[in-house]
Chain A
Amino acid sequence: MNRFLLPLGLFVLLAVVLAIGIRHSPEKSIIASPLIGKPAPAFALPSLTDPAHEVRSADLKGHWYLFNVWGTWCGECRAEHEMLLQVRRAGVVPIIGLDWKDNDGEAVAWLTQLGNPYQSVATDHSGRMAIDWGVYGAPETFLVSPEGVVVYKHVGALTPDTWTREILPRVSGLPAGKS
């Protein structure tokens, strides 16, 4: 074979990967979770800020909460952070964080520097819990009802649009927007 064809061959391979990447990227935000309508996976994980305590799903029953999967290694999470802080300031629904496959020290530094939007943060070093929740990639946010049922999932950074159209109406008992 002509060795001068090799670069072209490699490039074709790369183009295929990029094409697949492109086909995937718009899907990312609309992947429905098989968990919707089902009970949220139970968890009892060490708290990031206070490792002596556990964050437990059982303790969260009885009121709405957002379950936000993040990590300091995740660029998009940094972009999302300001939105989460606004949600916290709105005071409508608490956010439980799942610090996914992360370094505790860096995660604490992150929250210290950027502000802490979470009521509590559970740590998931092994990534087991994220598998149970069917996490596709950080950031992801789940809305869990007072009965402990997953009612909505958002993939990617939480947007003001999703907040006002999908989450706020559900939490305040109004009919949700287009879904």
Chain B
Amino acid sequence: MLPELGHFALILALLLAGLQAFFGIAGPAFARERWTSAVTPAVAGQAVMVATAVVCLVTSFVGNDFSVLYVAENSNTALPLFYRVAALWGAHEGSLLLWILLLAAWTVAVALGSGRLPSRFAARVLGVLGVVSFGFLLFTLATSNPFLRLDPPAPDGRDLNPILQDPGLAVHPPILYTGYVGFSVAFAFACAAMLEGRLDQNWARWTRPWTTAAWAFLTCGIALGSFWAYYELGWGGFWFWDPVENASFMPWLAGTALVHSLAVTDKRGLFKSWTLLLAILAFSLSLLGTFLVRSGVLVSVHSFAADPTRGIFILAFLIIMIGGALALYAWRAPLLRSTAGFELGSRESFLLFNNVLLVTALGTVFAGTLAPLISDALKLGTLSVGPPYFNPTFMISMLPLLALLSVGIHANWKRGRLKDSQRTLLLTFVAAAVLGCGYVFGLYSHAHLLSAVGATLAVWIVLSSLVDPIDRWRRGLTLPRAVLGMTVAHIGLAIAAFALTAVQSFTIERDVALAPGQTAKVGDYEVRFEGVRPVEGPNYDAVGGTLVVTRHGAPVAVMTPQKRRYWVQHTVKSETAIRWHRGNNVLLALGEDLGSGRWSIRVQIRPLVSLVWIAAFIMALGGALAASDRRYRTARAVATAPEATAVGQAG
């Protein structure tokens, strides 16, 4: 009964999303007050229906109802309760439902927070969100219904994919999706502004906190995914430039550019059409990511069941949403002229460079991700693009970005008078070069140019970022949260740059074959193999190896990597052992039984790798701080300031 109820709730949600879209867009367009005011009830109704559907499916999971196909495919009676709930988003259908739930949550948040927006504008924003939601609900109901029954019911479920049986699963997809879906709010604001035919600085101020919040979630989600790949999957790396990883990284790059260009639109009323385009781009790339992952067009390590019908549906949806938004853009963006100007060397000019470099980076990632597809479509043969392409091309645009950040942070709005801060620039740079190079050359025997550059740029960013807050503090001024958030996020970026270049330069990887009692020397560490013993888990059995790790003879840790065999799916998974020691990350994975007690063992020593994730969380924290600035929650004194450009009265 419950699955049918959930299915029915989903159908009602579809209808309500349709109403929300219609009232939200048609109401303001035809100036019908009653239509416009019907949007909020539709939003509330849709949210309740979506929540009902999710509760129904979760209940089926918790109650081991294997008459539901999706539950039978992704759960098992032996699966712990925690994972039975998380299994909801363990495969395609359920993760779509999660996507819809999060979209409903964002929509409700926008509806609640839209009190100070003009009602026509708010209705348009909610209407566009309704279109997005309608598309996803239709997609789910037409091609990926999670409530399908299995007759006769399975005696037991097929179990959750073992890769996903980790606490990481519980948090990674929801947070990542919150970020993805969050960009739909910026997208809706952009579409509403274009429908309205006007875009003023107030618009940018309303859009900023939503965009920054979505960006912070996406940052967290990507970092968790990377952490999960490293820690749980034991792939021996934290970033593979896999199509699915790129699918989450491309909206992040576009979102980062958007956050910065919104700042210019907010402060100076510039970059209007560019900001609109970035808002469309960020969400389009989220949608494109969904398409790439779920259509089977690109092969990836993230195995979502690929289905061409789904691909065709998403493609159609993509064409309607993105094509529609871009057509609207071609029609309306020419109306939005920026009147003010700025000089080279002003803060605007640096943010322009920032955007150019971020979009360049985005372009290279995009090209690399889609290259296999394009070469396939043009029958040029199968092509696989990997880190040898991505690492250098990405760095080419990122290193200048880091350097420009340290300079641009001192620049004033409007006027390019960098001379005033020449002394600060020089001092911070010299200090950074001394500290950065000193660290790298002092600590690591085999110095590496890349890491020296990375460390110098990182220290420079930190010092430069602190100049303004320290100055404000000395003058007894308060530090607004937006500025504090920016500073924190930039310091996070600096730490990431520092850690990434160090990891790239100083990682040691070795595969060794060891008999019990034998020792292998890897870098500064020695690894002694003590042998293996059987281990039994709740739904798997395993062999666990015992390895004693020492550094120059001094004990570090006893590590026990496992090789697990899950009963139901008959899959074998390597459970790596990971230990942090003096900033180094020691990873051990049990390989193959080579016979007569010998095993192959993979040893990796990575310096500072944990800093990469910490840095990402610091960046996200900065985003959260900035998004919570009160400045965005109080309306500007004069709602339509003279600088606001009202163009095009059509509506």
How far does the alpha carbon of A118 sit from the alpha carbon of B523 in the complex, in Å? 32
Q: Which of B236, B319, B509 has the most CB of A within 10 A?
A: B319
| Residue pair B511, A25 in contact (C-beta under 8 Å) | no
**B370: CB under 8 A from chain A?**
yes
Contact B323 A112 (CB under 8 A): no
A20 B600 Cβ-Cβ under 8 A: no
Q: Which of A2, A25, A82, A115 contacts B295 (CB 8 A)?
A: A25
Contact of B376 among A12, A14, A24, A116 (CB under 8 A): A24
Q: Within 8 Å of chain B (Cβ to Cβ): is A44? A: no
Indicate if the CB atoms of B600 and A113 lie closer than 8 Å: yes
Q: Is the pair B592, A112 in contact by a Cβ cutoff of 8 Å?
A: yes
Question: How many residues on B have C-beta within 8 angstroms of the other chain's C-beta atoms?
Answer: 51
Measured between beta carbons, the chain B residues less than 8 angstroms from A24 are 376-377
Most buried by A among B312, B330, B570: B330
User: Is A138 close to B, CB under 8 A?
Assistant: yes
Kindly identify which residue among A75, A79, A137 contacts B242, using a CB–CB cutoff of 8 Å.
Answer: A75
B299 and A75 contacting across the interface, CB-CB below 8 Å: yes
- Mask: chain B, 258-276; 1 = CB below 8 Å from A; 0 = not: 0000000000000001000
Whether B312 contacts A112 by the Cβ 8 Å rule is no
Complex contact B306–A25 (CB within 8 A): yes
Q: Which residues of B271-318 have CB atoms within 8 Å of chain A's CB atoms?
A: 273, 277, 280, 284, 291, 295-301, 303, 306, 308, 311-312, 315, 318
Interface bracket on A: 35 or more
Q: Is A34 an interface residue (CB 8 A)?
A: no
Residues of chain A lying within 8 A (CB to CB) of residue B513: 112
Q: Is B589 an interface residue (CB 8 A)?
A: yes
Q: Please report the C-alpha to C-alpha distance between residue A5 and residue B298 in the assembled complex, in whole angstroms.
A: 28
Known A21-B376, A21-B377, A109-B602: A4·B333 in contact at CB below 8 Å:
yes
Write out the residue numbers on chain B whose beta carbons fall within 8 Å of the beta carbon of A73: 384, 386
Q: Are B315 and A112 in contact (CB under 8 A)?
A: no
Closest CB-CB distance, B335 to chain A, in whole Å? 10
**Is B442 interfacial (CB 8 A cutoff)?**
no
Does A136 reach chain B (CB closer than 8 Å)?
Answer: yes
B326/A25 in contact, CB under 8 A: no
A1-52 CB contacts (< 8 Å) to partner B: 2, 4-5, 7-8, 11-12, 14-15, 17-22, 24-26
| Alpha-carbon distance A71/B382, docked complex (angstroms) | 13
Task: For A26, list chain B residues within 8 Å (CB).
Answer: 308
Across the interface, do A15 and B572 meet the contact criterion of CB distance under 8 Å?
A: no
- CB atoms of A21 and B373 under 8 A apart: yes
Asked if A74 lies at the interface with its beta carbon under 8 angstroms from chain B, I say: yes
A15 lies within 8 A of B574 (CB) = no
| Chain B contacts for A82, CB-based, 8 A | 571-572
Q: Which of A4, A22, A85 contacts B315 (CB 8 A)?
A: A22
Query: For the complex, what is the distance from the CA of A85 to the CA of B300, rounded to whole Å?
Result: 20
Per the bound structure, the CA–CA distance linking A79 and B242 in Å amounts to 14
Chain B residues lying within 8 Å of A17, measured Cβ to Cβ, are 370, 373-374, 377
When chains A and B are docked, how far (Å) is the Cα of A112 from the Cα of B243?
25
Q: Does B595 contact A (CB under 8 A)?
A: no
List of A residues within 8 angstroms of B298 by Cβ:
21
Partner of B297, one of A8, A25, A108, A136: A25
Task: Kindly state the separation between the CA atoms of A55 and B61 in the bound complex, as whole angstroms.
Answer: 51
Partner of B303, one of A7, A74, A79, A109: A79
> Complex formed: what's the CA distance from A21 to B312 in Å?
10
Q: How far is the CB of A59 from chain B (nearest CB, A)?
A: 24
**CB contact between A11 and one of B291, B295, B323, B574 (< 8 Å): that residue:** B323
Does B5 have its Cβ within 8 Å of any Cβ on chain A? no
B322 within 8 A of partner (CB): yes
Contact pick for B300, options A14, A71, A75, A115, CB 8 Å: A75
Contacting pair B600 A112 (CB below 8 A): yes
Which B-chain residue is minimally distant from A12 (CB atoms)? B323
Q: Cβ of A104 < 8 Å from any Cβ of B?
A: no
Q: Does A54 contact B (CB under 8 A)?
A: no
In the assembled complex, the CB of B225 is this many whole angstroms from the nearest CB of chain A, namely 16
Question: Would you list which residues of chain B between 506 and 540 have a CB under 8 Å from chain A?
Answer: 509, 511, 513
Q: Which residues of A contact B277 (CB under 8 A)?
A: 7
Instruction: Please tell me if B449 contacts chain A, counting CB pairs below 8 Å.
Output: no
Give A117 Cβ to nearest chain B Cβ, in Å: 11
Give the residues in chain B near A20, CB-CB below 8 Å. 377
Q: List 25 A-B contacts (CB under 8 A).
A: A2-B334, A7-B277, A8-B327, A8-B329, A11-B284, A11-B326, A15-B318, A18-B315, A18-B318, A18-B373, A21-B298, A21-B377, A22-B311, A22-B315, A24-B376, A73-B384, A73-B386, A75-B301, A79-B301, A108-B511, A109-B509, A113-B574, A113-B591, A113-B600, A113-B602
Given contact pairs A21-B298, A25-B295, A115-B572, a sample of 10 additional A-B residue pairs in the complex whose CB atoms are under 8 Å apart: A2-B330, A18-B373, A22-B297, A25-B296, A25-B308, A112-B591, A112-B592, A113-B236, A113-B600, A138-B382
List the 10 closest A-B pairs by CB distance, nearest first.
Answer: A137-B382, A20-B377, A8-B326, A21-B297, A112-B600, A76-B299, A5-B330, A75-B301, A26-B308, A4-B333
B residues near A (Cβ < 8 Å) are 236, 242-243, 273, 277, 280, 284, 291, 295-301, 303, 306, 308, 311-312, 315, 318-319, 322-323, 326-327, 329-330, 333-334, 370, 373-374, 376-377, 382, 384, 386, 509, 511, 513, 570-572, 574, 589, 591-592, 600, 602
